[in-house]
Amino acid sequence: MAEAQAIPKEQKIMLAVLALAGLYMFYKKAYLPQGKQINDLTKQIQETNKKIEDIKLKVARMDQLEAEYEVLKTKVAEAEKQLPKSEELPDLIRSITKIGSKHGIAIDNWRISSVVPKQYYKEHTYSFAVNSSYHKAAQFFVDVCQRERIMTVKDVKITPASGESSSDMSVSFTLVVYTYKE
């Protein structure tokens, strides 16, 4: 068999230099760009995962906000019943007349007095005059003030009715009705 010849020292150095140059080129051209690309992709994945978590939190918060919105919508509807945006005079007069009829009170006279604007609402005042007994008038006032809509009875003046009917009296009062100021 042929004996292996010894590789000269210069060739060994040359092979070592070529091997180092090859390793350097591999590192520079293949490994380093791949490592940079891996780092960039890792950062993108982390940013995307963070965005996903933020969106999940917002979606969870969205359900809570929708529930709060529904509750607030209900409260606004209730508040609008108590403090409507419009005066609704025909409905108001009908309901006052109906309450009066319920208690055997005929509304003899009523008139629009004034509208007083406040910061968030308006006060609509109406003057009424009725003939009634004391207890019927009191029940009438209670029913008027316990309606869903916010109203106030003030300036009540009670005078004995003229004539022979001693159980009746003349009652005049001011009804204040509130509306929301837009």
- 73 within some domain: yes
Q: Which residues are paired to 115 by β-bridges? A: 124
The answer to whether the beta carbons of residues 177 and 126 sit under 8 Å apart is yes
Same domain, 74 and 99: no
> Global pTM?
0.58
* Residue 6: Cβ within 10 Å count: 8
Given a cut of 80, whether residue 57 has pLDDT beyond it is: yes
Structural domain containing residue 47: 9-82
Instruction: Determine the pLDDT at residue 44.
Output: 93
Band (pLDDT 50/70/90 cuts) for residue 45 is very high
pLDDT tens digits, residue range 106-145? 887 888 888 888 888 888 899 988 888 888 888 988 888 8
- 2 within some domain: no
What CATH number is given to the structural domain containing 130?
3.30.70.60
- 132 within some domain: yes
Band (pLDDT 50/70/90 cuts) for residue 165 is low
Same domain, 122 and 51: no
Given a cut of 70, whether residue 167 has pLDDT beyond it is: no
Q: Which of 57, 82, 107 is the last residue of a domain?
A: 82
- 1 within some domain: no
Same domain, 77 and 99: no
Same domain, 71 and 152: no
Instruction: Determine the pLDDT at residue 2.
Output: 56
Same domain, 49 and 122: no
Q: Is 7 helix (H, G, I), strand (E, B) or coil?
A: coil
Closest C-alpha to 128, from 151, 104, 86, 96: 96
Q: What is the mean pLDDT of residues 67-79?
A: 88
Same domain, 97 and 155: yes
Sheet holding 106-117, edge to edge: 106-117, 121-132, 169-180, 151-160
Number of structural domains, the chain? 2
